[in-house]
Structure formats: structure tokens, C-alpha cells
A and B are shown apart, each in its own frame.
Chain A
Amino acid sequence: MNLTLHVWRQKGPEDKGKLETYQAKNISEDQSFLEMLDDVNEDLIKTGKDPIAFDHDCREGICGMCSQVINGKPHGGQERTTVCQLHMREFKDGDEIFIEPWRAKAFPVQKDLIVDRSALEKIMQAGGYTSCHTGGVADGNALLIPKPTADYAMDAAECIGCGACVASCPNSSAMLYTSAKVSQLAVLPQGKGEAKARVKEMTDTLLTEGFGNCTNHYECQEACPKGISVKFIAKLNREYLKSLA
């Protein structure tokens, strides 16, 4: 198939940037979206042009690097899908595709489709850890965690920190990301000790890093490639209220 791409090109953090149009020719429906971009880049290189810079690492849906908004939806909008898992069979010959980087004050564009997502790491550094002694390898049954609790923590831990929640949020809030981290640790025995300080520190850092406030639009839940539920934001809110007591 042949496609018309409108891609955000920006030379560096200080550049203003603009959308430029490219033709993607002879694209197979079995290619992933990133492989399609690889083909386009090869053509650009052959003609002596600067290839489109985009982030990618694992290409199996777990690294969370591919920070692309495709036709107005993070990762293209297919349910529970990152850009590497999005296949060209979802498009048809002659389609026009708009490809833009995550847009948020906290995610400055580095080049083209690459943004700096280290603000998310700053939130983690503020409290997304436990400081308990681990010692030697513990006996498997020494610390009993009920299955529903383990499942709940695992559901939250599915977050890959890709930033699609921020990209889709009308307020550029990182509340879904933060809530997944807070919830995951809050329900497990190792995380309970620091729960009160954690929720305050992490949500305060969310603001100082330039993210917006959550006003319950729930766009994040729809955009999340791992299907993280906004019930974790409700959980974060409960954890915050508990921390005031």
C-alpha cells in the first residue's frame, strides 16, 4: 500500500518544528508501524535527507519508548497496543497519517518524535521504592500475600512508563502513571511502611516537574497500552486521604 505521512520534524529542543509530508511506498500490511517508518527512513537516507528520529527499543510492547501520537491518538489508539505492535493492516491504501510526538510541558521534544520523559523518573525517585532490608533469599511462604492482592498489585505494575496517559490527558497530568506506582506498592507489605510519605512526595513531584492536575477526564485509561484502570487513581486518592490522618 501507499500512504501519505505528515510527520513532526524538529531539529532540536530549541527549534520551532513543523509537520512535513512524506510518501510511504510499497508498504506491506504485515509490517509494524515502526518498520514502516524504517522503510521511509531508508528512502530518506538514499536521497540524502535527514531520517525521521523516533524512539524505539524492545519492539515487543514493553519498553514504552515509542512516544508517537498517530492520527490524534497515542500509539495509534488501538486497544492495549504500543506503536511497535500496531500493524499496517490497520490502515488502507491511500490513507493520510499524522505522526506527532507526545506534547506536554514536562516532555520537551528532543528531536522529531523523540521526547525527554525523564520527568516520569523524577516522580519515581520521589517515592516509587521501598527501603526495607531484603537480606538473603526469603522462604517462599514466609510472607503470605493473598492472590487477589498480588493480582491487584500486578495489574498496577503492568505500567511501562510510556507516558501515553500524559500525552492523551487534556491537562498533561501524569496521575495515572503515579497512581499505578503508588497503588502497586501500597497494597504489598513491603510498601506499606512508606505509603504515607510516598503518595505525598510523588504527587508533589508530579506538579513540580510541570505536569498538570488530574480533573477526571479518563482519557488516560483509554490511551494506556497496558489497560491501567483509573480505579488506581481512586486508590491514590484514598492513600492521600489516609496520609493526612
Chain B
Amino acid sequence: MHLFTSTVGRKVLMAVTGLLLVGFITVHLLGNLSVFAGSEAINIYAEKLHSLGPIVWIFRLVMLALFAIHITFGIKLTVENSAATPEQYAIQVSQKTTFAAKSMIYTGLIILVFLLYHLLHFTLHVVHTGAVATLEPLVNGRLNVFAMVGNSFTSAFVSIVYVIAMIAVAFHVTHGIQSFVQTLGWNNGTSQDKVTAVGKLAAVAYGVLYVAIPLAFLFHIVKV
């Protein structure tokens, strides 16, 4: 299929999967922010999600496909692009590009490693088993997700790992948002700087709100 070999086709694949992944982190963030709405809110949210049955698995497979496409082509494009630029200038001055744009592969790889760690932690319960054990059902029968999350984040190590990963997400999204608008052909010239500004604002919002969750537990602003 031309889409998978073309330079523009693969750019479109990166943009569409990236856009959907931004959609995912948005929904995920809204769900996670329920920790600020009392201990029961996130437990009810988790119970609702798990009661969806086969839809959960369909969702997981779609997410796997999105990540697989985004990561595979992200790495492939980076390798091709560095092959196209075998020699560097003695002096090189960037006039427009950003740190975020130049570090996409690095922030991307940080997010990939974090993603595996995150799944081992909260989904597969392989690491930090002490904190994870507090997931035990409450008297009302619901799993105590709030306790598992809270007890995990009271560890400075865990919190710092999550904070670093979320900063990487924020940088990745800064370039990503304006980039998919351009790639999908929605830039008319004058709109691009506005879209870039909105993208930066959104990235800061994702960063601050995501980071707030571990830090709130670490500094006992929200108590387990």
C-alpha cells in the first residue's frame, strides 16, 4: 500500500495515530483527575471501565495498533532522516524549529519506556507490589484503585519517574499538535502560528495536570 511506503503517507500515519493518542491522553487525564474528587470517584470510574467487558479488549487492541504504528514509523523516519544528513555544519543556526521538534525521538523513547513501566505497575501489577497490594476490594466490593495509586505515589522514586515521563509527554505533544494540523493539510499559512500557540498551551496543561497527580500524593496534599 502506497500509504506505508510514501514519505507523505507515513507522515499522515504519524499524524493520525498521534492525533488519536492525544485523544487517549486527554480521556486518560480526565479519568485520572478524579483522584481529586475524593477516594471513591476513581474507584467508581475504574469499576465502570472494567464492566465494559469485551469493549475493554477491543480498546486495548486499538491502542496497541496505534502505538505500534506510531513507534515503528517514528523510529524508521528518524533513521532515514539521519541517513539523509550524514554531515553536520561547523556552525548551524536554527531559525524556527524548537527543542521539542528536535527531540521527538528522545521524548518518544522516554514515553515508550515509561509506557512499559506504567503497564507493569498499574495494569499487570508486577512492580511496586507493596503499594499495588492495597488494591484489595473495599467493603462495598469495589477495588481500591485510589489506595493503590496513592500508596504508589507516596514513594519519591515512583513520583519522580512519573513526573519525568509527563514532562516528556508535554514536550512531545508541543510539537505533535501543530504538526498533525500541518500534516493533515489544515494550515492555510496564517493559521499555523495560532495553532502552534494553542498546541503549546495545551501541552503545558497536559504537563501540569498530569504532574499534579503524583505530586499531590507525594506532598500529602491528597491523603491516602
Contact = CB atoms under 8 A, between A and B. Distances in A.
A238 B8 CA distance: 10
A32 interface: no
B179 A234 contact: no
Contacts of A238: 185
Given A219-B94, A237-B185, A213 B12 contact: no
Nearest to B88: A103
B12 A72 contact: no
A106 interface: yes
A210 interface: yes
B84 A211 contact: yes
B178 A170 contact: no
Interface residues of B, number: 43
Contact of B96 (A71, A210, A218): A218
B192 to A, nearest CB: 7
A233 interface: yes
Interface in B186-203: 186-189, 192
Nearest to A231: B189
A54 interface: no
B91 interface: yes
Nearest to B95: A222
Contact of A19 (B6, B10, B90): B90
Contacts of A168: 95
Interface residues of A, number: 50
A217 B92 contact: no
B7 to A, nearest CB: 5
Interface of B: 2-3, 5-12, 77, 80-81, 83-97, 101-102, 104, 175, 178-179, 182-189, 192
Given A211-B84, A212-B84, A229-B189, 5 more contacts: A170-B94, A204-B6, A212-B81, A216-B182, A223-B95
24 contacts: A71-B91, A71-B93, A175-B7, A204-B5, A212-B80, A213-B10, A214-B7, A215-B77, A215-B104, A217-B102, A218-B192, A229-B189, A230-B189, A231-B192, A233-B182, A234-B182, A234-B183, A234-B185, A234-B187, A237-B12, A237-B183, A238-B185, A240-B9, A241-B185
Shortest 6 CB-CB contacts between residues of A and residues of B = A212-B84, A238-B185, A231-B189, A72-B93, A171-B81, A217-B97
